[in-house]
């Protein structure tokens, strides 16, 4: 198996200058790997640093130490030391991120929000929209809503738009931050299906899932992040 993600001794501390410079250690000694076609679920109590680790893998949080190796276009790149443009390159073609909250530009119709990652990778607008439509239909977003911006939607609907946006591309790595929170049973099972399909395509995934049932369904391995707790 090819490891798609190889993390060793990554660490993160927040320094809160506005609170008198107190140091807030988050994680330390984070080391694990994820193979292609594998879904690794991070577990641990809330505040243990699961989301921080995900954000470090995405390059959203900067590492204070260690290494985050990502297989990108046939080579391994250390995101902890990468230039901003390299991080953007990795995000453009290698890592997709499904966050808990949708951060969409106001006024952009849902169908275009979902289609955008494909368009950004050079797929023709119409083809990208068709693909987006198929995903939205699977996730039970009624077609009459597709022309509206998602900011007007309910929390659950926004979450599903977000999932469609995250799953539409052919990224070899996907980071899933609570993809099934605030979804009903029917939609949860659609997400589980989508994850299964990604696995079959060899996508490496790191997920945070609170729902035990879902976790059992999707996890190939579970990593307890309390082992990386940095709290003094």
Partner 1 sequence: MAEPLTGNDEPLLVAEGLAKNYGRLIACRDISFALYPGEVLAVVGESGSGKSTLLQLLSAQLAPSAGRVSYRMRDGVLRDLASLGEAERRFLFRTDWGFVHQDPAQGLRMAVSAGANVGERLMAVGWNHYGRIRKAASSWLERVEIEVSRIDDVPRTYSGGMRQRLQIARNLVTEPRLVFMDEPTGGLDVSVQARLLDLMRNLVSELGLAAIIITHDLAVARLLSHRVMVMKGGQVIETGLTDQVLDDPREPYTQLLVSSILPP
Q: How many CB atoms lie within 10 A of CB 50?
A: 26
Per-position DSSP letters for 101-143, written without gaps between them: S----TT--HHHHHHHHHHHTT--HHHHHHHHHHHHHHTT--G
87 vs 227, beta carbon nearer partner 1: 87
Minimum CB–partner distance for residue 159 and partner 1 (Å): 17
Buried b (16+ CB within 10 A) or exposed e, 143-182: eebbeebbeebeeebbbbbbbbbbbbbebbbbbbbbbbbe
Query: How far is the CA of 20 from the CAs of 17, 30, 63, in angstroms?
Result: 5, 27, 22
17 vs 200, beta carbon nearer partner 1: 17
60 vs 100, beta carbon nearer partner 1: 60
Closest by alpha carbon to 197, among 160, 175, 167? 167
Minimum CB–partner distance for residue 17 and partner 1 (Å): 3
60 vs 140, beta carbon nearer partner 1: 60
Q: Which helix (H) or strand (E) holds 160?
A: helix 155-167
Minimum CB–partner distance for residue 45 and partner 1 (Å): 22
Minimum CB–partner distance for residue 157 and partner 1 (Å): 18
Write out the two tokens for 211. 């729902």
83 vs 212, beta carbon nearer partner 1: 83
Give the binding site for partner 1 (CB under 8 A).
14-18, 55, 59-62, 84-85, 87-89, 91-92, 105-108, 120
Minimum CB–partner distance for residue 84 and partner 1 (Å): 5
Q: How many CB atoms lie within 10 A of CB 13?
A: 14
Minimum CB–partner distance for residue 92 and partner 1 (Å): 5
105 vs 124, beta carbon nearer partner 1: 105
The answer to whether 165 touches 158, Cβ cutoff 8 Å, is no
């Amino acid at each position: 198996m090819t490891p798609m993600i190889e993390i060793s001794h990554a660490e993160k501390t927040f320094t809160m200058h506005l609170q008198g410079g107190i140091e807030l250690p988050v994680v330390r000694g984070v080391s694990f790997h994820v193979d292609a076609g594998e879904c690794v679920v991070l577990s641990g109590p809330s505040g243990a640093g699961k989301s921080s680790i995900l954000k470090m893998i995405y390059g959203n949080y900067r590492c204070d130490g260690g290494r985050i190796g990502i297989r990108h276009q046939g080579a391994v790149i250390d995101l902890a030391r990468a230039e901003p443009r390299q991080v953007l390159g990795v995000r453009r073609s290698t890592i997709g991120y499904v966050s808990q909250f949708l951060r969409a530009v106001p006024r952009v119709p849902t169908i275009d929000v979902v289609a955008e990652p494909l368009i950004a990778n050079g797929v023709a607008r119409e083809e990208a929209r068709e693909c987006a439509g198929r995903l939205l239909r699977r996730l039970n977003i009624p077609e009459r809503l597709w022309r509206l911006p998602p900011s007007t939607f309910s929390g659950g609907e926004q979450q599903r738009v977000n999932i469609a946006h995250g799953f539409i591309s052919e990224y070899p790595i996907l980071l899933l931050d609570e993809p099934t929170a605030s979804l009903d049973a029917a939609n949860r099972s659609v997400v589980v299906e989508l994850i299964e399909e990604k696995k079959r395509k060899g996508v490496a995934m790191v997920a945070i899932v609170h729902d035990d049932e879902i976790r059992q369904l999707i996890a190939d391995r579970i990593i307890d992040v309390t082992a990386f707790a940095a709290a003094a």
